[in-house]
Structure 1
Amino acid sequence: MASNLDLQEQEQLDELKAFWKQYGNLITWLITLVLAGFAAYNGWNLWQSQQAKGAAGMFGELEAATTAGDAERSAKIFGDMKERFAGTELTRQAALLTARVQADKGQTDAAAATLGWLVDKAGDDGLGPLARLRLAGLLIDKKSFDDALKQLDAITADEYKGLVQDRRGDVLMAQGKKDDAVAAWQSAWKLIPEEQQYRRIVEAKLDAQGRSPVPANAASGVAQ
């Protein structure tokens, strides 16, 4: 009986040896890859955490600078954040703050460059559409109307459609196309939810042109 057990154990051992000889290297490499991936994941999370902490400290300094209206210091801090923490969300938010104070101080080209960086980084997600809207406003001031419209055309998110139409109306009015501008503002007024205060601003633009937010034919139930 013991002999039979010994033989069975030897057969199993021989099978294991044969299996390991055939697949051992592959299994070893797979385990190595899994462990390496796990280590990389942990390292990435640690790096991300360190980046976020570093960016948070600098973002606080930038907030103080923008609150004080110090465009030069804001730009310097933002430049440091871009160099050290370009991939963090806080650095993208810093771009909006920096561009705002630059625009307030009449530094239109600098503000446009800051927003351009944000557009390149964010694309169509997150703060990207908002950056495009603000950039379009600066381009209107520079009378770069075609470039402003290109920025607006690049915004596809549904939640921004009303704001895009409002800004499009601004471009058209600046071009002297009053009727087209009014139509765009009327569209914006309908797209922006009633509870949003910005809708009142659009309504004020229409009032200034002596026009109703809703076209007369639409108000009377006639199809446009």
Structure 2
Amino acid sequence: MAELRTEEEQVEALKRWWKENGLSLVAGVALAAAGVLGWNTWQGYQENQATAASMRYQQLVNLTAGNDLDEAQLPEARALVDEIVDEHGKTLYADLARLMDARLAVAQGDLAGARERLQSLADAGSDNYVAGLARLRLARLLVAEGDADQALNVLQSGVPEALAAQRAEVRGDAYHALERREEAATAWREALRLAATNEQPLYGVQLKLDNLGLESPDLEGSALETSSRDTTSHDNRGLDA
């Protein structure tokens, strides 16, 4: 389920980036190209660059698909990350590759390196949505490492409303790790409410609530019913940075 969420987040990030930056990118390219290269030539160049970045990123996704990364493939994956960042550093693909790089660091047992990469992307991400993803993954990693207080600090700002349900879920995870059960229940209920309102799938949260053994109010929404039927536990997801 963590892998599914990762793919959904990447698709959503791409959609949002193009929606917010597509027109300005085209305008900027047009201005830069004027008087230097013919528009058609410059447009072709940009399209080739975008295609190359997309192809390299798809290679990276294919190489790292699945929950268990092959140790022998890690060097190739890290090399692809470096190539995407070096050659296409101003694109969304570079930020997504940096997110993947943090996951690769976890796979290699380099938790400190993963934290550093996620913090850097959270602080300087060129896309607010991707920076928000970085904060969420950083918070999950901190909870998994036993630093739930710091995880709560990370979630205080910098997470866009589009990720509000996920933020509430991770906040609940942090409260649960601190044995603040009532606050955990409140946060998870909020996560389910937001997921239902926004028609977003949110897997495993109802199971977490059920395991608390606390009474919870009824929540409306067909999306919530879908979430509550999912009984997949992913308490160890924090290490999938």
Q: Shorter-chain TM-score category?
A: 0.5 to 0.7
Instruction: State the Cα distance separating 1:123 from its structure 2 match.
Output: 5.5
- The gaps in structure 2 that reach 5 residues or longer are 1-30, 219-241
Distance 1:44 1:128 in 2: 30
Deviations 1:37-77 (A, max 9, x none): 73369587566434323323322332233135433322222
Distance 2:169 2:215 in 1: 15
Match of 2:34 in 1: 38
Deviation at 1:209, TM superposition (A): 0.6
TM-score (norm 2): 0.62
In 1, the alpha carbon distance for the partners of 2:210 and 2:32 equals 64
Listed one character per residue, the Cα deviations across residues 159-213 of structure 1 (whole Å, up to 9, x for unaligned) are: 2222111111111111222222122112222222175431x51111010011244
Counterpart in the other structure of 1:99:
102
Tell me the residue number matched to 1:201. Answer: 204
Aligned pairs for 1:49-64 (under 5 A) are 49-64=47-62
Shift of 1:132: 1.2
Change (3 A) 1:181 1:36: closer
Percent identity between the two aligned chains:
27
Higher helix share: 1
Q: Bigger radius of gyration, 1 or 2?
A: 1
Give the match's secondary structure for 2:204.
helix
Write the distance in 2 (CA, Å) between the matches of 1:56 and 1:189. 34
> Matches of residues 116-131 of structure 1 in structure 2 within 5 Å?
116-122=119-125, 125-131=128-134
Separation in structure 2 between the aligned mates of residue 96 and residue 36 of structure 1, nearest angstrom: 30
Distance 2:182 2:166 in 1: 18
Following the alignment from structure 1 to structure 2, what is the Cα–Cα distance between the partners of residues 189 and 73? Answer: 39
**Distance in 2 of aligned mates of 1:116 and 1:150:** 12
After superposing on structure 2, the runs of 4+ consecutive aligned residues of structure 1 that deviate more than 6 Å are none
Shift of 1:120: 3.4
Root mean square deviation, CA, Å:
3.1
Which residue number in structure 1 is paired with residue 176 of structure 2? 173
Decide whether aligned partners of structure 1 residues 51 and 147 sit closer, same or farther in structure 2, where only a CA change above 3 A counts: farther
* Normalised TM-score (structure 1): 0.66
Structure 1 residue 104: Cα displacement: 4.3
Identify the range of structure 1 (205-214 vs 36-45) with the bigger mean alpha-carbon deviation.
36-45
Aligned 8 A contact 1:152 1:164 in 2: yes
**More displaced stretch, 42-51 vs 152-161:** 42-51
CA distance in 2, matches of 1:36, 1:173: 52
Change (3 A) 1:71 1:112: farther
Per the alignment, residue 87 of structure 2 pairs with 84
Any stretches of 5+ residues in structure 1 without a counterpart? 1-34, 216-224
Shift of 1:149: 1.7
